[in-house]
Structure 1
Amino acid sequence: MTTTARGVDARGVNSPGRAAVGARTLRTDRWWLPPTATTIGLLIFLVYGGVRAFQQQYFFADERYLTPFYSPCVSLGCASEPGSAHFGMFIPDHPLIPYAALSLPFLLLFRLTCYYYRKAYYRSFVLAPAACAVPEPHATYTGETRFPLIMQNVHRYFFYVAVVISVINTYDAIVAFRHPTDGFVVGVGNLVLLGNVALLWCYTASCHSCRHVMGGRLTHFSKHPVRYWLWTKISALNARHQFFAWITLATLILTDLYVMLVARGTITDLRLIG
């Protein structure tokens, strides 16, 4: 290691003879477009999701479609839509308490601490850094070793909760095939719910924590052929984690929007069977 007289590490940008560049950045391309697009995309989801979570209406359609923003519906206010509370109602009905208060905080924290979303909002909202070869405006950076960023390490625990909630969303999609009076039916809404659940599972399964659960602690893959096979499949999904992170934001909005429009009577759910 090369050090100066004061004992400071003199490698990299501090090494002797390093060119003194005073420009903000030497990049001439539109490097600001990706972080700007990320900021807009995340803001759209946060605003839409926040409004819908506290709207407390138009969340249950055709007596069987429950939007994922209200699943599981455990508030006493869910009584306004009979059949929407699949797991009982035990949370007080209050304008400031979401009907899905049991799941939304954990899902938000699961995504907030997600490895891809960290990159997304670090580069867009925090500008740490905004892009490669673009200096960040912060004077110091300690990484995720101090509070509050050290809390990112709890992501693995939110993953387990996300798996449980994905199971609940799957249950919602399955029971939606049965209408209280018409019996087994298949509508466009069923396909929307199933498509959303399938992509949510892809996002959850492609999580880095899921990959670690499958084979992160194994010393000899040859002694655990089943877990090795699962690890290889999860690794393939993990390579597309960024894609699933974005596509599920879109499908969550579209699924909720479809349920809301049907619940309001703006559109009619097309019956394919039944």
Structure 2
Amino acid sequence: MSAPAADRNATGVFSPGRAQISQRTLRTDNWWKSPVIIDLGFAAFIVYATVRAFMQNWYYVPEYHYLTPFYSPCVSTGCSPEASHFGQFLPDVWWLPYAALSLPFLLLFRLTCYYYRGAYYRTVWQAPTACAVAEPHATYTGETRFPLIIQNTHRYFFYIAAIISIINTYDAILAFTKEDGSFGFGLGNVVLVTNVVLLWAYTLSCHSCRHVAGGRLKHFSKHPVRYWLWTQISKINTRHKTFAWITLGTLMFTDFYVMALAAGWFPDLRFIG
């Protein structure tokens, strides 16, 4: 008796040539724990970042030039003039974040990141959730169709993310100058600089960055500089997953610290000035 047409067209674990097991998995360990923890981590960041992006308040400390990365560059006409280092040209409406020029690209850079896509494929998309756990999809097309084909644009978002990292670096350096023009150094500077350094570590450890440095080279010996760069990037590329998660935490912490100072919840701990 032949299988129904729908079953004959199925792929993956549902294909006719695979063993027909009614259970989703025969694993007896807590295989669901890792996907749940990852989903909770993603959800925490998405909820926090969304609330803060549309809050449009408590993002800048003029006394010390502290600008949260969630609002950089601040290019809305509603931005504080002191925080608008690159002008004001976006309309001030509630549904448009003050940093609308950068946030969409940073989001797409993260969404298309090789680590992140692997993480949410297993957890959100469940393709598959874990090893030896059948996914709930009857067919598999990979990244050949919309919307997953958009993942192939990751290299272009990398270039934009690098530019935004330069802007964040500028913000961190500017924060060493107080409102009166004198030099100042406080805990906020440590927070901002640490966040920028880790963002650079995440950005430069990107697989696309590694490809830019040494991809398409047939003879490394003829390109010693690019080979050296490729080698160094390859070393930190092994920590790309770690930096991906750490920077989610440091972004939230940096934003929360600047927000707390701007709201007057507590003063900045000053070391100089």
TM category (shorter chain) comes to over 0.9
Structure 1 unaligned regions, length at least 5: 1-7
> Which residue of 2 is the match for residue 110 of structure 1?
109
Counterpart in the other structure of 1:70: 71
Report the equivalent of 2:48.
48
Q: 2:271 aligns to what SS in structure 1?
A: strand
Displacement of 1:217 in angstroms is: 1.0
Superposition deviation, residue 145 in structure 1:
0.8
Alignment of 1:251-262 (within 5 A): 251-262=250-261
Instruction: Trace 1:68-217 onto structure 2 (pairs within 5 A).
Output: 68-78=69-79, 81-181=80-180, 183-217=182-216
Deviation at 1:141, TM superposition (A): 1.1
- The one-letter code of the counterpart of 1:68 is P
Give 1:181's aligned amino acid: D
- Matched residues in 1 for 2:57 and 2:20: separation? 60
Contact 1:173 1:190 in 2 (8 A): yes
Structure 2 CA distance for aligned equivalents of residues 217 and 20 of structure 1: 44
2:4 equivalent in structure 1: none
How far did residue 146 of structure 1 move?
A: 1.1
CA distance in 1, matches of 2:146, 2:22: 32
Of 56-65 and 162-171, more deviation after overlay is shown by: 56-65
Deviates more, 1:163-172 or 1:54-63: 54-63
Tell me which stretches of 4 or more aligned residues in structure 1 moved more than 4 Å: 12-16
1: distance between equivalents of 2:268 and 2:62?
Answer: 8
Residue identity in the other structure for 1:113: T
Query: Would the alpha carbon gap of residues 180 and 144 (structure 1) be closer, same or farther in structure 2, given more than 3 Å must change?
Result: same
1:20 Cα offset (Å): 4.9
The residue type equivalent to 1:71 in the other structure is S
Distance in 2 between residues matched to 1:238 and 1:160, nearest whole Å: 17
- SS in structure 2 opposite 1:156? helix
Cα drift, residue 61 of structure 1: 1.4
Amino acid at match of 1:195: T
Deviations 1:185-222 (A, max 9, x none): 00100000000000000000010000000001111001
Q: Please list, as runs of the form range in 1=range in 2, the aligned pairs for 1:233-244 lying within 5 A after superposition.
A: 233-244=232-243
1:149-173 CA-to-partner distances (Å, cap 9, x unmatched) read 1111000000000000000000000
Percent identity over the alignment is 66
Give the deviation of 1:181 after TM superposition: 1.4
Alignment check: 8 A CA contact 2:35 2:122 kept = yes
- For 2:82, what is the secondary structure of its paired residue? coil
Deviation at residue 21 of structure 1 after TM alignment? 3.4
CA–CA distance in 1 between the matches of 2:20 and 2:74? Answer: 60
Tell me the secondary structure at the aligned position of residue 96 of structure 1. Answer: coil
Q: Is the 8 A contact 2:61 2:67 kept in 1?
A: yes
CA contact (8 A) 2:62 2:179 kept: no
Q: TM-score, normalised by structure 1?
A: 0.92
The CA distance in 2 between the partners of 1:170 and 1:24, in whole Å, is: 48
Partners of 2:209 and 2:170 lie apart in 1 by 21
Q: Distance in 2 between matches of 1:19 and 1:82?
A: 66
Question: 1: distance between equivalents of 2:155 and 2:26?
Answer: 39
1:62 Cα deviation (Å)? Answer: 4.2
CA contact (8 A) 2:106 2:161 kept: yes
- 8 Å CA contact retained: 2:198, 2:243: yes
Look up the SS of the partner of 1:272 in the other structure.
Answer: strand
Aligned length: 262
Looking at structure 1, the residues matched to 124 and 19 of structure 2 have their Cα atoms a distance apart, in angstroms, of 30
User: CA–CA distance in 1 between the matches of 2:166 and 2:147?
Assistant: 30
Q: Does the 8 A contact of 1:62 with 1:262 survive in 2?
A: no
Quote the Cα distance in structure 1 between the aligned partners of 2:215 and 2:33. Answer: 36
- TM-score of the superposed pair, with normalisation by structure 2: 0.92
Give, as a single letter, the amino acid of the residue that structure 1 aligns with 2:49.
G
**Structure 1 residue 26: Cα displacement:** 1.2
1:71 touches 1:168 (CA, 8 Å); kept in 2?
yes
